Amino acid sequence: MDKKIPTHIYSEIGELDGVIIHSPGNEVENMTPENAERALYSDILNLSVAGREYNEFRGVLQKVTRTFEVRDLLTAILSDEDIKRGLLRKVCTHEGTGKTFGHLMSLGANDLCKALIEGLPLQKDTLTNFLNKERFDLKPLHNFFFTRDSAVTVYDDVLLGAMASPVRLRESLIMEAIFDHHPSFKTTTISAMEEKNRGIPVSIEGGDVLVARDDVVICGIGSRTTTEGIDYLMHHLKNKNEKQHILVQEIPETPESFIHLDMVFTILDNDLCMLYEPIIMKMNKFHTVHIYLEGGRVKFIREVKNLPEALGKLGMDLNPVPCGGSDDQWIQEREQWHSGANFFALGPGRIIGYARNVHTITALEKTGFEVIKAVDVLSGKKNLDNYKKYVVTIEGSELPRGGGGARCMTMPLSRKDVAYRML
């Protein structure tokens, strides 16, 4: 067996050395217009089109790093009866489906993995069930291909998402079981679910957590992450690191395109960030806060002007590249809606995102990025090793309708360290 992979994320841009993904499957097809809103979608996705687009994305990742599929990892651990029993008890307790426990325990690893992700159909074997409008006893995980949210590596630990919506809780339980029990990984999991179970309104999702440097974490608060969620992470970090900066950006709860911080701000290189100007740079009612922890104590909490300026004062001078370009706010709004700011770094200055955001891609090209189509990488026409600074563009007519981009669809395990100037 290969050596265990220690989780190690100390930047957003270090060369990628392992990532967990989840290729969308029948759980996406198991969505209807009637249940789309409950599933946190405003529309339903076409799996055949979304699958082709995702294959481009996955294919590029496989060219540059080790990739691990959630289905494979979950199936592997479910072969252990004790692990299987422990996970199912948590799932059935949280979802109030205790009557299905025995049936789920009787399933083999492959079938159980399918049921946990794609859903368990409701058996119409009683009058109550026959008249029940629900199709599933265990609901499908429509959002699971956005693996970022349910688990995020913060330094050497894995922070499990305390999901804002109950429909996504099972994703975190599955990721917890994988990281606690799969032999491929060496890590410690931390979870705010105990706080949530005590009635504290704590929510925190991975799209709102960016590890900028070994002493700087950037967090968003909005519709998916609460102040209590940041307080939980702050408590963990102040007891773990001698010195720690946490920069917090408040984001709107509507429209739905502002779901997480990484929909308006991502880091691209040692000296570049992608941002949505109306929220990050312009005067508005959304606060930016700097928290500094030292020696296990909160030294100060104060408001700052914006994220780039606060990062600059910490020695991270990041020049902004505007999502949608800098000329027309209407275009900026359109491209932000389709995850125009949501780029994922394969390494410093080597990023991947949707081709459809043409003005954003043009802005990157003007900044020195070579624009490379994913199909050219997969066909062998382009070798990424020949380029120092690039943006790989993937087709995205269907995937963006799910409400996320390349960063959302990845859960990095490890990155090589990046040398930053420290203050």
Q: Which two tokens stand for residue 204?
A: 């925190």
Q: How much is the pLDDT for 40? A: 44
Please give the pLDDT value at position 197: 75
The per-residue pLDDT string of the chain (423 residues; one tens digit each, 9 = 90 and over) reads 468 999 999 999 999 999 999 999 999 887 655 554 444 445 678 888 999 999 999 999 999 999 999 999 999 999 999 999 999 999 999 888 877 899 999 999 999 999 999 999 887 777 777 777 777 889 999 999 999 999 999 999 999 999 988 889 999 999 999 999 999 999 999 998 888 778 888 999 999 999 999 999 999 999 899 999 999 999 999 988 899 999 999 998 877 778 899 999 999 999 999 999 999 987 677 899 999 999 999 999 999 999 999 999 999 999 999 999 987 889 999 999 999 999 999 999 999 999 999 999 999 999 999 999 999 999 999 999 999 999 999 998 888 888 899 999 999 999 999 986 554
**Contacts made by residues 194-203, CB under 8 angstroms, sequence distance 24+:** 195/162, 195/228, 195/232, 196/162, 200/228, 201/226, 201/228, 202/162, 202/226, 202/228, 202/229, 202/231, 202/232, 203/162, 203/163, 203/164, 203/228, 203/229
Can you spell out the DSSP letters for 126-190?
SHHHHH---SEEE---TTTT-TTTTEEEEBTEEEEPB-SSGGGHHHHHHHHHHHHH-TTEE-EEE
- Please give the structure tokens belonging to residue 157: 């630990």
pLDDT of residue 370: 98
**pLDDT at residue 86, rounded to an integer:** 97
Q: What pLDDT is stored for residue 1 in this prediction? A: 45
Residues 99, 138: Cα–Cα separation, whole Å:
11
Q: What pLDDT, in 10s, does the model give residues 195-234? A: 877 888 899 999 999 999 999 999 999 989 999 999 999 9
CATH number, domain 5-81+140-412, options 3.60.40.10, 3.75.10.10, 3.40.50.300, 3.20.20.140: 3.75.10.10
C-alpha span between 178 and 172 (Å, rounded): 10
Q: Which residues contact 170 (CB under 8 A, 6 or more apart)?
A: 91, 94, 95, 116, 141
**Dist CA 115 CA 122 (whole Å):** 11
